[in-house]
Structure 1
Amino acid sequence: MKHRTATALLTVVIAAAGLTACGSDKEADSKPTKSHELSASPAPRKDMPEDSSKSHADAEAKAGIPPKPDAATQAQYVRALNAISSAIVNGKEDRAVSRGRDTCGTIHSFPKDHAKQVSITAQRFSGATQVTTTQASQILTAVRTHLCPKN
C-alpha cells in the first residue's frame, strides 16, 4: 500500500513540475485565439543574426504580410483610419500599422471569404471601443489600398 501511495505522490510531483516548467501567461490563457487569425508580427530582434531576420521577413511574405510601409504610405493609411474613427488609431500609429499588416495576412489566408475578413478585422482593431462591422469593412478597404494592394 505504501508503495502505491509513494508512486502516486511521485507522479503528481513530476506532473506538477512539468506544468510549472511549461510556464503560463494568465492573460494569454484567458483569451484563446487562433494564431493564424489574430497573430501579431513581432519586430525583428536586433540581437538576432541577419539570416534570422531575413527568414522572418520571408515567412511574413509567404503569409501575405507586407513589409512595414514607408513614412508617406503610413501617414496616408493613418489618415484613412482616422477618417473612419479617431478611436481606431488613438495616437498609436505603430500598433495600427502592425494590425493592418496582420490584416493583410488575413486577406491572404481567406481571399474569398469577405465575411471572415470583416469579422477578424473587427476583432483585431477593437480595443477600448468596439469596431462595428461597417467600420471593419472600411478598415479592410484602407488596408488593401495602403498596405497590401496586391491582395
Structure 2
Amino acid sequence: MKRTAATALTALVLAAALSACSSDNSTNAAPKRANTRAPSAPSKAIADTEATAGIPHKPNAAKKLGFLRALTGIDPDIVHGREDKAVDRGLNQCRTIHNFPKDKPKQTKMAEMRFTSPRHPEGFGKLKAAQIVEAVHVNLCPKF
C-alpha cells in the first residue's frame, strides 16, 4: 500500500514535469503566452496521496505554536531558536510514525537521531525522545 502511494505520487510529479515540456522545436512557431494566473491549490488527489504516504500538511500558526510550546516544555534546547527547523523535523517524524505505527522503540530512536542541537549533538536521550514523539503525534499528525 505504501509503495503504491509512493508510485502514484511519483507518477503525478513526472506527469507534471512532462506536461511542462514543449515538443515544438520549430523557429516559426508563435511565441507562447506566459501563464499569468496564480497557481491553483493542490488537488484533493495529491493531498490524499501525500497523506497516504505519511506526508502531513504544514501546520497552521496555532498548531505550530502548540508544537513549539510542547517541545520547549520538554527541553528549551530542542528548538534552540530554530522554530522552522523544529517543525520540519517534526513533519519528518510524522513520516516515521506513519511508517512504523506500532514500533515505539523505532519511533523513539528516530526522534533521538533527528532532534539534535549544538549542545546535544547526539540527541536528548530516550526519555525526552519518547516525549518528542508524543508531542509530534499530538500536535502535527494525530491521525497517524
TM-score exceeds 0.5: yes
- Pair 1:65-2:55 in alignment: yes
- Pair 1:78-2:68 in alignment: yes
Distance 1:59 1:88 in 2: 31
Higher Cα radius of gyration: 1
- TM alignment of 1:120-135, pairs within 5 A: 120-128=110-118, 129=120, 130-135=123-128
- Pair 1:144-2:137 in alignment: yes
Distance 1:149 1:131 in 2: 23
- Pair 1:94-2:110 in alignment: no
Identity rate of aligned residues, in percent?
A: 45
Deviation string for 1:89-148 (max 9, x for gaps)? 111111111111111100110111110010011101023212110011000110111001
Q: Which runs of 4+ in 1 moved over 4 A?
A: 48-51, 53-59
Match of 1:32 in 2: none
User: Is there any run of 5+ residues in structure 1 with no aligned partner, and where?
Assistant: 1-47
* Aligned partners of 2:67 and 2:135 also within 8 Å: yes
Q: What's the TM-score, normalizing by structure 1?
A: 0.61
- TM alignment of 1:28-43, pairs within 5 A: none
Distance 1:58 1:99 in 2: 21
Distance 1:60 1:87 in 2: 31
Q: 1:83 to 1:67 in 2, by over 3 A?
A: same
Q: CA deviation at 1:65?
A: 1.9
Residue identity matched to 2:141: C
Distance 1:101 1:109 in 2: 13
Q: CA deviation at 1:62?
A: 2.4
Aligned length: 104
| Alignment partner of 1:110 out of 74, 96, 100 | 100
Q: CA deviation at 1:58?
A: 5.3
Q: What's the TM-score, normalizing by structure 2?
A: 0.64
- Secondary structure of 1:105's aligned partner: helix
